[in-house]
Amino acid sequence: MDYDAYRVKIAMNEVLLIQAQSAKNPPSFFIQFAPYNNTQTSLQCSINYPDILENYIYSVAVGKNPNRNQTQFFFAGELINSSKGAFIGVAKYDPTNVVSNASNFCAMSFSYSLEYLISYEHQEYYIIGVEPQGRFAYGFSNKFIFVFDSENRSTLEPWHGNLTWPNRSFIPHAVNISNNFGIIVGFIQNDLQERVKYSPIIYLLNFLLSNHHPTVVHQYIPIATNGTWQDLLSNADADIYSSKYDMSVSINRYGDVLVGMQHINRVLLLSVNISNPIQLTYSIPIHSVIGGYLLKSISMICSRTFTTRTVPLYQFSLIIINCCPLGMHKDQAGINDCMLCSTGTKNSGNATIQCTPCASGTFCPLGSVSEISQSALNTIEQVIAYPKSPDSTIFDEILIQNMFHIGSGRYLLVSPLFWTLIAAGLALLVVIIMEMLKFFIRHHTCAQIRKRIQWIFKKTDLIGEGELWVGGLISFSIVVLVSFAYAFSNAYLKQYPIETSTDSYFACDLSIRNAKFQTHLQTLAIPPPETERKMFDLLNEQSLLLNVDFINTFINCDVVSIQALFGNIWSTIRWSNCQNIDSILSLSIPLPHQHISVEITLAQVQTIGALRIGVSGDKHEEDSYKLQELNFYRSFSKNGSVLAQILPVSLTLTKVINETLSMKGEKSNFSGIYIPTYTIDLNNLFISRDQYIRSTSQAIILSIVLSETPYYVKNQQQPIAKQPEIIFHNVLFTVVCLEIFGLIFILYKLIFKTIYHSICWVVFRHHEKSKKNGEEMNSDFKYSNTWSNTSDVDEHPITDVF
């Protein structure tokens, strides 16, 4: 159970102070008698609630100027557990019943008198007010009103609220009564069709002399200023108790009235002519900062130190606030200027005379209120530069370059030329072995094997068409080179489009792609082609969300108001999300249109370290058209400066349309996204320490103008080579390789072989001539055919060919 719910649990005047302590066991009233500067326990006591198991206390009240011979207080609440209904009671103090030297001297000195209203169910708002002399207590709710006379406790006679309230839906929230008039505030219900469900209202009460019944003589309805965040509140749940709807009223002896309304964070100043209290006069609204302090009853202590020898009367949750706002400090007590915390230091509210150092690596600019991670300043860019086409966009050149390129390391392993040379080397090794077998091994079986191998290689001769056995060996090198060409072409074909491609590990250049690109600007003045129109429609219809972060500030959402320019009229719009987490005030604002001016007003001048602005939008895909998700941010900060009070920002959007042509002649695929261009002068966006101190602005205004460039960017991607073209060029490559090697063999036959046979013939003739000369000189010796036996050369020069 929330023991602090349903009105005020503490009251005091010049005689005594009372606090309802419902959370204690047993529930009791704490009482402190005057003088309050004397906190002896002999002036304090506690008395249990009457019927502690049945009564829940809503509030307590006392008269402002009571008769000193009569000490009493009133209390109101609701029956719980077995019984239902409301009650009003008075506790009277009888000093003759005080027990001397007792630890709880007033336990027997107070007597209770209660009146029950059992005909009424639970009331969300049931309040009481006491006239200054402290005799009459008034009870107010939506359903009933009564006057309780503490000196003449006859049967309580409540009457229905409809008989008094001009608006029968009135729900009272707070009341205060002076000598000749009273002020009661609350909510009234509006028509169901209206956006604002409940509106605050202030009633001026007069009291009949005959029976002291209150009557409403005048009313005032506060109207929120257009464009403020208060104007956006609907107060839909104001009929159900919530602390955010708490109100307060205070009347001084001159007829000035302060009305505090927590749900709008405002204190209103009104006045009443005390000699003729028949009209409420609205004076001024008190500034939100001052009003917020008044509403929350914050004590302000400005001196450097505070010492006392007295014992506290009661342990309240005292809030001590430095005289300077967060992010500032003063180094001495007194009426002196506050100074901004220097860069690298902060004041989160705990510091008094100096700022505390920030952790290393955090964002802690001039006037910091907290340590902010550097990640809060991250810039998000979705679009990168469109690729350029490769130097060569002709497939023949690309194929030749990759087939005959050789490098080192990984490049060597994927080089077709390298493996072709390996195959050629193996072929050369076979030729050498075959020749060695021919010249050095003269066995009949070996000769047969050698001729069989030559026959096999002749069958694989692609170059000489089976004429040369060496041509069969060289053909294996051609097969290796052509196989690499086919594998490269197949992998290269799949390297399109670039969005679905990976690194090209099959080639030396990992970035090689089967794509070429074109980028150009086109004016929006010319209607787009029919194929692009759908993409334009998706971009134009994309709903945008403006995201703004005020970084390193304690400003909260309750001072934020947003306006948008519709034609020539500024109208209030709402945010979809607003929160201050870790000293970052984040706003998300749905934009009614893409081309619009938005003005964000912060009705509180406090330090802000940086600004971050972005736009987001949902993605959408339809057929071959894809609208990409939009989510970009850019942060703005300046070392040694704080954000200024007037912040002009221009954000220009440019359409980017990417067209990807199909590989198989089908429809093109389109994708689109917006890219931003920020126009901001940091010198105007940020101000120095001295400029901030001299500034007289009462609000921070961020103006963002969203527009679009009169042109769009068209990117086109198309394949360098399609499948039919690649197949055709591979066939050509194969034929060219065969023809090149065939040409080499023709040259071999025509030149090398002829020269070789000529040399062999000359050597043979020279040998024959030498033999004749030898026979003539050595006629006695028998002719020996040694040359023929040793060289295996018959009467003809050479008969064995490659």
- Calculate the average pLDDT of the chain: 84
Task: Give the DSSP letter of residue 559.
Answer: G
Residue 202: count other Cβ atoms within 10 Å of its Cβ: 23
Cβ contact 87:78 at 8 Å: yes
Q: What is the mean pLDDT of residues 593-611?
A: 93
- Mean pLDDT is lowest, of 189-203, 294-308, 415-429, 514-528, for 294-308
Q: Which amino acid is at 435?
A: E
Q: Give the model's pLDDT for residue 717.
A: 95
Q: What are the two backbone dihedrals, phi and then psi, of residue 723, each rounded to the nearest 5 degrees?
A: -60, -50
Considering the domain architecture, whether residues 21 and 146 belong to the same structural domain is answered as yes
Residue 385 lies inside a defined structural domain of this protein: no
Considering the domain architecture, whether residues 81 and 189 belong to the same structural domain is answered as no
For residue 95, what are the contacts with CB-CB under 8 A and spacing of at least 6? 71, 109
Q: Is 340 helix (H, G, I), strand (E, B) or coil?
A: strand
- d(CA 647, CA 645) in angstroms, rounded, equals 6
Residue 358 lies inside a defined structural domain of this protein: no
Q: What is the mean pLDDT of residues 283-308?
A: 43
pTM of whole model > 0.85?
Answer: no
Nearest alpha carbon to residue 472 among 153, 751, 802, 216 = 802
Considering the domain architecture, whether residues 618 and 490 belong to the same structural domain is answered as no
The single residue listed with the structure tokens 């464009």 is 227
Q: Of 132, 163, 194, at which residue does a domain stop?
A: 163
Please give the residue range of the domain that contains residue 731: 395-511+723-750
The single residue listed with the structure tokens 């230091």 is 345
- Mean pLDDT is lowest, of 27-36, 333-342, 791-800, for 791-800
Predicted confidence band at 35 (pLDDT cuts at 50, 70, 90)?
confident
256-261 and 266-272 as β-strands: parallel, antiparallel, unpaired? Answer: antiparallel
Q: Of 145, 163, 181, at which residue does a domain stop?
A: 163
pLDDT in tens, 621-658: 999 999 999 999 999 999 999 999 999 999 999 999 99
Considering the domain architecture, whether residues 212 and 148 belong to the same structural domain is answered as no
Considering the domain architecture, whether residues 496 and 449 belong to the same structural domain is answered as yes
- d(CA 562, CA 591) in angstroms, rounded, equals 11
| Tokens describing residue 474 | 């060289």
Q: Is residue 139 classed exposed, middle or buried when 0-12, 13-18 and 19+ CB atoms within 10 A define those classes?
A: buried
Cβ contact 277:180 at 8 Å: yes
| Tokens describing residue 500 | 């679905």
Helix and strand element counts for the chain (H, E): 12, 41
Contacts 24+ apart (CB under 8 A), 416-421: 416/480, 416/481, 416/484, 416/485, 416/488, 417/481, 419/480, 419/484, 420/477, 420/480, 420/481, 420/484, 421/477
Residue 782 lies inside a defined structural domain of this protein: no
Considering the domain architecture, whether residues 569 and 709 belong to the same structural domain is answered as yes
The single residue listed with the structure tokens 């959408």 is 620
| Tokens describing residue 489 | 């072409």
| Tokens describing residue 245 | 């709807």
Residue 730 lies inside a defined structural domain of this protein: yes
| Tokens describing residue 675 | 């890219």
Count the domains in the chain: 4
Q: Give the model's pLDDT for residue 348.
A: 85
Considering the domain architecture, whether residues 502 and 527 belong to the same structural domain is answered as no
Q: Is 472 helix (H, G, I), strand (E, B) or coil?
A: helix
Q: Give the model's pLDDT for residue 785.
A: 44
The sign of the CA dihedral 148, 150, 152, 154 is: positive
Q: Of 116, 131, 163, at which residue does a domain stop?
A: 163
Q: Give the model's pLDDT for residue 792.
A: 45
Q: What is the mean pLDDT of residues 538-560?
A: 95
Task: Give the DSSP letter of residue 107.
Answer: T
Considering the domain architecture, whether residues 523 and 605 belong to the same structural domain is answered as yes
Considering the domain architecture, whether residues 144 and 183 belong to the same structural domain is answered as no
Residue 209 lies inside a defined structural domain of this protein: yes
Q: Give the model's pLDDT for residue 475.
A: 81
Angle ∠(16,18,24) on CA atoms, nearest 5: 150
Residue 1 scores a pLDDT above 90: no
Q: Can you give 391-438 as a three-state secondary structure string?
A: CCCCHHHHHHHHHCCCCCCHHHHCCHHHHHHHHHHHHHHHHHHHHHHH
Q: Give the model's pLDDT for residue 352.
A: 60
Q: Give the model's pLDDT for residue 784.
A: 43
Angle ∠(184,185,191) on CA atoms, nearest 5: 130
Residue 424 scores a pLDDT above 90: no
Residue 306 lies inside a defined structural domain of this protein: no
Considering the domain architecture, whether residues 525 and 504 belong to the same structural domain is answered as no
Residue 434 lies inside a defined structural domain of this protein: yes
Nearest alpha carbon to residue 643 among 677, 676, 596, 604 = 604
- How distant, in Å, are the alpha carbons of 279, 523, 612 from that of 678? 54, 21, 12
Considering the domain architecture, whether residues 434 and 524 belong to the same structural domain is answered as no
pLDDT in tens, 62-106: 999 998 778 899 999 988 877 788 999 999 988 877 665 556 667
Give bridge partners of residue 613 from the DSSP assignment.
Answer: 548, 634
Considering the domain architecture, whether residues 464 and 440 belong to the same structural domain is answered as yes
Residue 551 lies inside a defined structural domain of this protein: yes
Predicted confidence band at 414 (pLDDT cuts at 50, 70, 90)?
confident
